[in-house]
Structure 1
Amino acid sequence: MAQRIQILNTQIDNLSMAETLQRIELAIAQNNPLHHTVVNAGKIVAMQKNEQLRKSVNEADLINADGQAVIWAAKLLNQPLKERVAGIDLFDNLVKMAHQKAYSVYLLGAQEEVVSALSEKFKQTYNANVIAGYRNGYFSQEQEKQIVEDIVSTKAKMLFVAISSPKKEIFLHTHREALKQIPFIMGVGGSFDVLAGKTKRAPKWMQKSGLEWFYRFLQEPKRMWKRYLIGNSKFIGLVVKAKFNFNKKNS
């Protein structure tokens, strides 16, 4: 099993995209339930104070580094990771896998028009059987138990939850026992909006340069400025402090 590192109170599995896909494929084939999550700079910052979010992430079975900033931080803190495993790319690859293996997936999250459009897109790209069901991401806590029961009843092999953080992480962690009949569960953030065509993803060069957040900020500056500008500054502060403490300890 690959080494799991710990930086900034966060567990991360040191896996490549290919290794992550292999691990998920094996878990589904063996019907061994796997709860997956990803971390980026913003989520790691939130985890420092949100104990429930931290617990929900760190107790997941598989944790990938979604943000390029996390890759840089891990290297700086002497615990290098193989590569960034972006949640949206993993999600896309897994739907392809579902089609190839004749599995079905359930989509939970986003606005009704977005999730329905994405469901239709996957049906057209692959076939109708790839979608076990879908539901928008607007519901109360009181509705969660029934929603989980409805998802399980579809016998989907994979569940993808596109709800904002920390709600999606807490939802999946809270209901992970009830969802064990679904072999693979994963939070995918805003991936439905991108793949359905509602929002655009940054060009490849920006993704590789760690500027994907900036592209997102430019699309919705009023909504995103606090999350990215303040959040990224806090993340840099956490990394610098951790590096200083590491150097001091080993001097």
Structure 2
Amino acid sequence: MASRWLCSVSLPERVATTDLFHDVAALAEQEGISFYLLGATEAENQKAVTATRESYPNLHIAGHCHGYLSGEELERKLDEINALAPDILWLGLGVPREQIFVHDFAARLANVGVIKTSGGLFDHLAQKTRRAPIWVQKAGFEWCWRVLMEPRRLFWRYFTTNPYAIYAILRFSK
């Protein structure tokens, strides 16, 4: 919606990471592009990798790891990811942890092609979290569905960030 107001060429449709992942994975499978999946719990990460391999058997997953690392363990993992040099690092640490991760470590991951923050993507791939019905998605209310599914976790995030986003859109639309 914001692209219609702010850009000379608007986006043709909503771009949700949970949809984008499948488009990118299908293309990556054809083009030999490699992925690394970092985030979620160990169990959810493994389920996400298993589901991805089932859906895209020729996709090169260079590696994967849960997102609860710190100290020396994190340092070793960063070195490993950089050495594996995946084309795309899918980072599912949640907001704001993944933004902090990119700020702190992107320069250190010089051999990684792209770091794509992806929030709860791995939970969706692992089928831990259900997506909104298609009609809710198309109406632009998937965020509302998510709040209804996880009110304790998401209400304050959306309550505090959505007004800022609306303000930023209105400010830049002048």
The answer as to whether partners of 1:122 and 1:131 remain within 8 angstroms in 2 is no
Aligned to 1:194: 124
The answer as to whether partners of 2:25 and 2:56 remain within 8 angstroms in 1 is no
Aligned-residue Cα RMSD (Å) equals 2.4
Secondary structure of the equivalent of 1:200? Answer: coil
Distance 1:129 1:144 in 2: 26
* TM-score, with structure 2 as normaliser: 0.84
Once the 2 structures are TM-superposed, how far is the Cα of residue 101 of structure 1 from its aligned partner? 1.6
Aligned to 1:209: 139
Question: What are the Cα deviations for residues 89-135 of structure 1, in whole angstroms up to 9, with x where unaligned?
Answer: 22222221221122321100001111101111122222276221110
Secondary structure of the equivalent of 1:164? Answer: coil
**Counterpart among 142, 154, 161 of residue 224 in structure 1:** 154
**Counterpart among 153, 157, 160 of residue 90 in structure 2:** 160
Once the 2 structures are TM-superposed, how far is the Cα of residue 238 of structure 1 from its aligned partner? 4.8
Structure 1: gaps spanning 5 or more residues: 1-70, 247-251
Aligned to 1:178: 108
* TM-score, with structure 1 as normaliser: 0.60
Question: What are the Cα deviations for residues 196-249 of structure 1, in whole angstroms up to 9, with x where unaligned?
Answer: 101011122222222111100111112221112343244335555x27x94xxx
Distance 1:187 1:151 in 2: 15
Structure 2: gaps spanning 5 or more residues: none
1:1-251 counterparts in 2 under 5 A?
Answer: 71-72=1-2, 74-76=3-5, 78-79=6-7, 82-83=10-11, 84-127=14-57, 130-140=60-70, 143-239=73-169, 242=171, 246=174
How many pairs were matched up? 172
- CA distance change for structure 1 residues 238 and 141 in 2, over 3 Å: closer, same or farther? farther
Once the 2 structures are TM-superposed, how far is the Cα of residue 142 of structure 1 from its aligned partner? 5.0
Give percent identity, aligned residues only: 33
Distance 1:81 1:169 in 2: 27
